[in-house]
Amino acid sequence: MADASTSVRAAVEAAYRARTEESRAWYERASRSLAGGVSGAVRYFAPYPTYIRDGSGAELIDLDGNRLIDCFLSGATALLGHHEPSVAAATRAATERSSLLFNPTHATETAEQLCAMVPAVERVRFVNSGTEAVMNALRIARAFTGRAKVVKFWGTYHGMDDQVLTGLDARRRVLGGGIPASLVADIVHADINDLDGVAQVLAGGDVAAVLLDPTMHHCGLWAPPPAHQQALQQLVQDAGALLVVDEVISGFRLAPGGGQEYFGLQPDLCVFGKAFAVGERLGAIGGRAEVMAVTDAARTHGGPFAFQSGTCNDSTVSHAAAQAAMARYRALGPAGYAAAAALAQRLAEGLTAAFIAHGVACHANHLGPMVRLFLTAGPATAEHCTRLPSAPIDTFHLALLTEGVLTLPGSNDFFLSFAHTDVHVEQVIAAAGRVLDTFDIAALVAEAGGAPQ
């Protein structure tokens, strides 16, 4: 069986190489100046990554001229699709102004829009990314409460700050080297489904914040139902800790008011990135006025002070993009969000059916416009599915590129944008069928210890 699976991977790589000669050449060039040929670890996959020339709507063109349906969306960022007209017009106009101004009026305007869209947001501070937003939110929570510990649920990803690069999977490990144990000493791992366990941790009275991605995206969209998340919120707030909702993935994707609107939450703090400015450099921390007051340099509130600042937080183009994007999200309304969720459900059902038709058991999670696949007949739980071998699904995602669909080998995400249509979804399902007709993915699953149907 090992020989069979090796030959399957080799066949997929050969098909990929045959249609991406320009990407291969560019990878060789890029590797002479960019470490590893890319500007971030998740942008690499073997044998070499695809390089993109341009994009429009739900589609991309790579260096070889291949048309690709984009189901990666630059890491879930291009929620409105590429080069969305209203955002493009706003950013073009913004380039006629200085790129960075001191205390510009557009920062206030963006904050006003965010406060209007998200009820829990009474005050705002801007940063350049979701990573910075999480880092600052935790600092604010610690300053406000006078406590040090932060509860982080295993299986969640909250950006690149050292303290949260731990517990990303069921093995609760630190991700990569260079992170001293002292930097994660105040992070407490918990199981989001174990409210009694969370209550026990909170009973110590030393927890500043509970950090929540309401979608549980990183481990596979294992989001608890609204009532469970609301019960968690009550536990946190009864203990005098702060609930920090990470909306970098869920923000504007599940509803105009984000994951907190979708799940009925009222957090103390929340953070935004990715779809907030649909590809431009902008993140945000928002929350209760009383909590956000700790960042007030005038110190009019008389309480603790938490330093928060940044040179490029008020980029003219970034704020123009965010304002245009938020206006578009509001205009989509319930019908637009329901349509996107229905497309994701159709994609999940179609992909599952394609695998089953080829003798491979498959479970799919879908939430809003997102889909995750698990090639298993085992229990549909995070504990089981996050321990599945990655080689079969990674090979499937690489093979999808040979059929004109960009996901990302290594991430197992299908992200849909508001630019995707029924036609795009049917094309992705058809592409998956062709992959499974051409390559024996069942052999990979069997060898890796999965459970073919």
Strand ranges for 115-240 from DSSP E: 123-127, 149-153, 187-190, 207-212
Ranges of H-type helices in 203-315: 226-238, 258-263, 289-292
Would you say how long the chain is, in residues? 453
> Which pLDDT score, from 0 to 100, does residue 453 have?
35
Helices (H) and strands (E) in the chain, counts: 15, 14
Domain boundaries, the chain: 2-82+333-448, 100-314
How many C-beta atoms surround the C-beta of residue 372 within 10 A? 21
Asked if 55 and 417 touch (Cβ cutoff 8 Å), the reply is no
- Please report the pLDDT score of residue 169 as a whole number: 78
User: How are strands ordered across the β-sheet holding 370-374?
Assistant: 363-367, 370-374, 413-415
User: What is the reported pLDDT for 299?
Assistant: 80
List, in sequence order, every residue forming a beta bridge with 174; answer none if it has no partner: 166
Closest CA to 253 of 19, 31, 415: 415
In Å, the largest CA–CA distance within the chain is: 70
Query: What's the CATH code, domain 100-314?
Result: 3.40.640.10
Quick one: pLDDT at residue 201? 97
Q: Do domains 2-82+333-448 and 100-314 have the same CATH topology?
A: no
- Could you say which DSSP state residue 225 is in? P
Query: Using CA atoms, how far apart are residues 54 and 75, in angstroms rounded to an integer?
Result: 16
Amino acid (one-letter) located at 132: E
In angstroms, what CA-CA distances link 271 with 15, 133, 134, 189, 276?
41, 6, 6, 20, 10
Can you say whether residue 75 is alpha, beta or left, with left for phi > 0 and alpha for psi between -120 and 50 degrees? left
Secondary structure (3-state) at 41: helix
Per-residue pLDDT at 2: 54
Domain boundaries 2-82+333-448, CATH class: alpha beta
Interatomic CA distance for residues 296 and 285, integer angstroms = 14
In the three-class reduction of DSSP (H, G, I as helix; E, B as strand; rest coil), residue 98 is classed as coil
CA distance 384 to 60: 35
DSSP state of 51: -
Taking only the tens of pLDDT, the chain with its 453 residues reads 457 678 999 999 999 999 999 999 999 999 999 999 999 999 999 999 999 999 999 999 999 999 999 999 999 999 999 999 999 999 999 999 999 999 999 999 999 999 999 999 999 999 999 999 999 999 999 999 999 999 999 999 999 999 999 988 766 778 888 888 988 999 999 999 999 999 999 999 999 999 999 999 999 999 999 999 999 999 999 999 999 999 999 999 999 999 999 999 999 999 999 999 999 999 999 999 999 999 999 887 778 999 899 999 999 999 999 999 999 999 999 999 999 999 999 999 999 999 999 999 999 999 999 999 999 999 999 989 988 999 999 999 999 999 999 998 888 999 999 999 999 999 999 999 999 999 999 999 988 874 433
Sequence letter at residue 418: F
Q: State how beta strands 242-246 and 269-272 pair.
A: parallel
- pTM of the shown model: 0.95
User: How far is the C-alpha of 131 from the C-alpha of 158, rounded, in Å?
Assistant: 7
Residue 5 is predicted with a pLDDT of 74
Q: Judging by DSSP bridges, how do beta strands 283-287 and 123-127 pair with one another? A: antiparallel
Token digits for 202?
């909170």
Q: Report pLDDT for 71.
A: 98
